[in-house]
């Protein structure tokens, strides 16, 4: 099983999500964000960077996260990321429609583009569907797993920007599960964390 560390902000949604026993079993350490720069990552295979983190600390940590990936580590980025810290990041803000599912003939606008990827042995597109905050436009050579209908990436894997792997998604299951709403986010985490620990990446 891969050893997973999570950057921990201390906010209530993160506390609930990453201390939930069925998820905590996959996590070796919660690293309090103000202490991150002084914490060794050498014993970990995966670093999860949650949504809703402090912008200043995030940008200060950019080099350390990149170094971790350059050593072959797996970095997971959750949520909208308007700040430039992900390699070759091309983020586009879009208006969020929280209530699309109440519309007649509701369509999330999401497309599963790599159904053969091992992650989808653990989750379905429905498990990754709630609302969108924007999209990424990753560079050529990355693999888009879930996109919008116009090709913007909602979830992609980048194995070319560093010697490691970046799993980047606009989805923010950590926030919504920890805030007690959006049932799909629980299904997403129920599959995503076991895959991250044991699946083929």
* pLDDT 10s digits, 72-110: 999 999 998 889 999 999 999 766 655 545 566 656 678
CA R_g for the chain? 16
Q: Are 120 and 146 in contact (CB under 8 A)?
A: no
* CA proximity to 101, closest of 126, 118, 82, 79: 126
* CA proximity to 67, closest of 155, 162, 142: 162
* CA proximity to 157, closest of 198, 194, 120, 107: 120
Q: At the top level of CATH, which class does the domain 4-198 belong to?
A: alpha beta
Phi, psi for 155 (deg, rounded to 5)? -150, 125
Give the per-residue pLDDT at 158: 98
For the chain, the structural domain boundaries read 4-198
Give the per-residue pLDDT at 97: 57
Average pLDDT, the chain: 92
Give the per-residue pLDDT at 21: 98
Other C-beta atoms within 10 Å of 48: how many? 25
CB contact set of 96 (below 8 Å; sequence gap of 6+)? 131, 132, 133
Q: How many distinct helices (H) and strands (E) make up the chain? A: 6, 10
pLDDT by residue (tens digit) across 37-55?
Answer: 999 999 999 999 999 999 9
Give the per-residue pLDDT at 50: 97
Q: Which residues of the chain are modeled with pLDDT < 50?
A: 100
């Amino acid at each position: 099983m891969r050893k997973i560390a999570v950057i921990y902000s201390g906010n209530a949604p993160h506390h609930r999500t990453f201390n939930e026993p069925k998820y905590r079993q996959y996590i070796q350490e919660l690293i309090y964000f103000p202490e991150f720069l002084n914490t060794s990552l050498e014993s970990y295979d995966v670093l999860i960077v949650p949504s809703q983190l402090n912008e200043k600390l995030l940008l200060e940590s950019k080099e350390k996260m990149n170094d971790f990936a350059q050593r072959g580590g797996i970095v997971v980025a959750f949520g909208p990321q308007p700040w430039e810290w992900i390699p070759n990041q091309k983020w586009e803000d879009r208006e969020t429609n929280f209530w699309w599912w109440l519309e007649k003939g509701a369509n999330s606008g999401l497309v599963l583009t790599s159904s053969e990827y091992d992650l989808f042995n653990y989750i379905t597109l429905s498990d990754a569907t709630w609302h969108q905050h924007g999209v990424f436009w990753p560079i050529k050579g990355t693999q888009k797993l879930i996109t919008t209908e116009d090709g913007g990436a909602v979830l992609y894997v980048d194995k070319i920007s560093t010697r490691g792997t970046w799993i980047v998604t606009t989805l923010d299951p950590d926030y919504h599960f920890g805030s007690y709403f959006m049932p799909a986010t629980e299904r997403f985490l129920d599959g995503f964390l076991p895959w991250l620990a044991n699946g083929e990446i």
